[in-house]
Chain A
Amino acid sequence: MQLLTVSQLTRYLKASLESDPVLQGVWVQGEVTNYSASSQGHQYFSLKDESAQMRCVFFRGAGSLQNRRAALFSPLGAASVKLRNGMAVLARGRLSIYETRGDYQLYVEEVEEAGVGMLHLRFEQLKQQLQDEGLFDEERKRPLPRWPQVVGIVTSPQAAALRDMLRVLRARCPLVRVILAPTLVQGERAPEQIAAALDLLNAQGEAEVILVSRGGGSLEELWAFNEEVVARAIARSRVPVISGVGHETDTTIADFVADYRASTPTAAAAAAVQDMAEWVRALVAHRTRLTELVEDHIDAWRDELARCRRDLLRASPRGQLASERQRLDEASSRLNERMKRVLEHRQERLKSAAQHLHALSPLQTIARGYAVIRHEGTGQLVTSVTQVEASDALDIQVRDGHIRGVVWHVLPDEGEL
């Protein structure tokens, strides 16, 4: 057995409370009593029910971060509740011990009136449940069709939201056909009807995208879109669903499940169809492109034609004749040239031969003092003593004339005979 001081025990209890995860984030339902507020803005009160009560302290600024975050994801916003005695509330906070007095108390981070608070709790619980089931997963989101021709709408036929959506569709893309699946959008029967309308559009089968929509309203008026039946009907829809509920600041469970979340009915309609102005722009661009392309084709064929013409001319018989003729011309002029050169060469040779001949002529020899002797009768050249006898008549040619004479005597040289 261990002996403890009061402080030790209190600290031990405090530590064990603060290490309990359940007690560190707990919602408590009860009625406010013994309410007081300090000049610093801290609020002190007790929560009680028929048989018990507990101390609570709500420090100024406590839990404000959580409240801000909750405001982003809850339909309730961060409206702060003005507490008073007798008010039924839900308070969220952590349990701890105020050591000085030994009181255990709830350190409040968030307080809501019981009615709204219950809706908030249901919202958070359903959201958590569906999230755990994977209904909000990005992979589940189906792409919206690029060219829906039939747009389904689930909303009230009387609602301003429907008029807004039809106005947007008419302005952006009057090519589409709208199929309205009428339903209540608020009240007890609304959730079942909305789910049935979604199923009906799926069964009918023409709609390529479905708008689930309602105009702005109070939390209670929008509540149908936070009901599980609606969430499940959206999840099982084969056709992609666009949600557009309330104003920009409203977020419903339907928004989380939908394939595309639009902030308002108008935005949902705009998201469903392409703006006709885009098509007009696309058509203009296509016309320009078409003209450019056909001009490219014509240019390409024109180039091709020019190339063919060149090839054809090169290959034609007429062209071939012309080039043969040209070759012939060239050959004949080469021939002429050659002939001319040959002739010139011959002339040249002739001339030099003539000169040579001249140099060899006996006349030249005679001129130097020699004589040419021939038989007077036969004209035969006499170059030897054996050719003549005494009394033969001879013709002796000298430089400037002929001498006629008769042989007296023939005297051969010694050793010649």
Chain B
Amino acid sequence: MTDFTVLPVRFQTVIDGRDNLLSMMQSYYEDFKDNLDRLHNKLEFGIKVIWPADKIKEHIINTYKKNNKSVYITGDSSNKRFMRNKFEKYKLDEEFQKKANKFINVMDMFFSKFAAEKKLGKLKSENLLLDAVYLVEKDNQDSFKEAFEHIKSTHTGFKFLFSGPWPAYNFIILPKNSDLLKDFRQEDLFDKLIQHRDLVGADKI
């Protein structure tokens, strides 16, 4: 990665000998070239953030109770009580999402300054606020790390994970019909089914 742009391949990929490797590279020359041009001199970094979801929710509930917004639904029948509970949950979720977006926007604003491309995973679980990958020019990697350290130091109570530099696993673009996207394991399974079709009673596969 120091001197060259590395293209990642699927985990457990094994190529049988130099000739097969060259032949494969020839077959997918255009796919490789396009990605190498786009990813030249760039590296991938990962950032994950866990936030104190319980405390955030508690704060939202307290604020909600203070403002007494449940006046939207009055009455004490079981149907009304059900609706009131649902409405409170709906408002809680809405506020929770708003707060998450606010935090993510601030963080992303800092990281994006030094990134060429990004992919943001928001609230993949209640606690995992952000699961992001950034594509960063080699020359910008120190600045990117500094931005991370700044965000980390200004968000007490949040937990951070920083990883990289990696080859650009998440930024490879392949045409939809590229054979490189084919799932070879499925092909293997189909071949096995064909071989044993008599056994499974499917003579006309």
Q: Are A and B bound to each other?
A: no
A residues touching B (Cβ–Cβ < 8 Å)? none
B residues touching A (Cβ–Cβ < 8 Å)? none
